[in-house]
Structure 1
Amino acid sequence: MGTLTVSVASAANVSAQVNSIPMLNGTNFKVWKKAVEIVLDCMDLDLALRTKRPTSTPEASNEVNIEKWDRSNRMCIMIMKRSILEAFQGSLSEGENVKKFIDEIE
């Protein structure tokens, strides 16, 4: 199997997982949140949901941890926004932290 085939299969899998999240409509928060958590965990993107952002230190290895956390946070917010009705998106702030973003939605 070539690299392109694997990439296409992976893209289709990501799309299927993201599409499995129900649209948040104002009455289904618990179901929506559980689905988001499962999908983000399966995609190994839930780091920002599970941990606090690492603090910056002179260590190069910590910079890698910060980059991983920042990517996780950014991806979580993008995936969540995709599954929220546009009518609700206008009332949400552009939060820096996915945990605060979920709290605001709740």
Structure 2
Amino acid sequence: MSPTYARRRQALPPLQKLNGSNYKKWKQEIDILLGLLEYDVALREEKPADLTAESTEAEKSFFANWEKTNRLSLLIIQNAMEEHVRGGIKKCDTAKEYLAAISEKYQKSQKVETGNFLSTFTTMKHDGTGSVREHLLKMVDVANKLTTLQIPINDEFIVHMALNSPTPEYEQIKVSYHTQKDIWSVNELISIFCEQEDMLKKGKTVVVNLVDNYKKKHLQR
């Protein structure tokens, strides 16, 4: 490894491997790394024509540089992929074609993945098994994954979906939400549900001013 490569590589955080769900971030990191190393010539320039006896020194130099950057770019890209992902990408002679093949495969799988996450998010229900906090955090996690896949899910929508997902014991929380003007954040919602869960565990089945008490307590902090 040359000193120049080492210095430039140290300027970047560790390169994450493409695992099928992080394409956008991975592609950004690959572009930055190849640009920093000045290997992006192979991405910006088409493959030069084969050299001939009449080729100029400039043409020979460009050909040699392009071949080098293309070969090293391919190695870097392939090394930055999980094995099971790399195995599903067709072999290409150029780094530019290889990145295009990765992008095409990702776009196809992204549609399937997005559909699966949307189906999961809109049908998630708390069946009483496990804590309500765990259930709500799973909903937030799926919403975050959808946002990463360019299907933004805002807090207000998460709150509405979450209010309809728990068991009937939490119905009073939904009633309280719909009868007041305030819009809760996801964190507020989780805290209120957890307080109700604690009350249920203690045998208190009636919610009395649960939301008002929560807000008063947190305003006093």
Same fold (TM over 0.5): yes
Partner of 1:53: 47
**Correspondence 1:44 to 2:38:** yes
Q: Is the 8 A contact 2:9 2:33 kept in 1?
A: no
Counterpart Cα distance in 2 of 1:18 and 1:85: 20
Q: Is the 8 A contact 2:8 2:36 kept in 1?
A: no
Q: Percent identity?
A: 23
Q: Is the 8 A contact 2:5 2:37 kept in 1?
A: no
Cα distance, 1:76–1:51 mapped onto 2, change above 3 Å: same
Pairs within 5 Å for 1:1-106: 9-10=3-4, 12-13=6-7, 16=10, 20-56=14-50, 58-106=55-103
Length-normalised TM-score, structure 1: 0.79
Please provide the CA RMSD for this pair. 2.3
The runs of at least 4 aligned residues of structure 1 exceeding 3 Å deviation read 7-19
Query: Which range is displaced more, 33-42 or 8-17?
Result: 8-17
Shift of 1:60: 2.7
Cα distance, 1:16–1:63 mapped onto 2, change above 3 Å: same
Q: Is the 8 A contact 2:41 2:69 kept in 1?
A: yes
**Structure of higher RCO (CA pairs closer than 8 Å, 6+ residues apart):** 1
| Structure 1 gap ranges (5+) | 1-6
Length-normalised TM-score, structure 2: 0.41
Give the total of aligned pairs. Answer: 100
Shift of 1:58: 2.1
Shift of 1:14: 5.4
Shift of 1:64: 1.2
Counterpart Cα distance in 1 of 2:89 and 2:4: 31
Shift of 1:94: 2.5
Q: Is the 8 A contact 1:24 1:85 kept in 2?
A: yes
Shift of 1:8: 7.2
Amino acid corresponding to residue 84 of structure 2 in structure 1: A
Q: What secondary structure sits across from 2:76 in the alignment?
A: helix
Shift of 1:17: 5.8
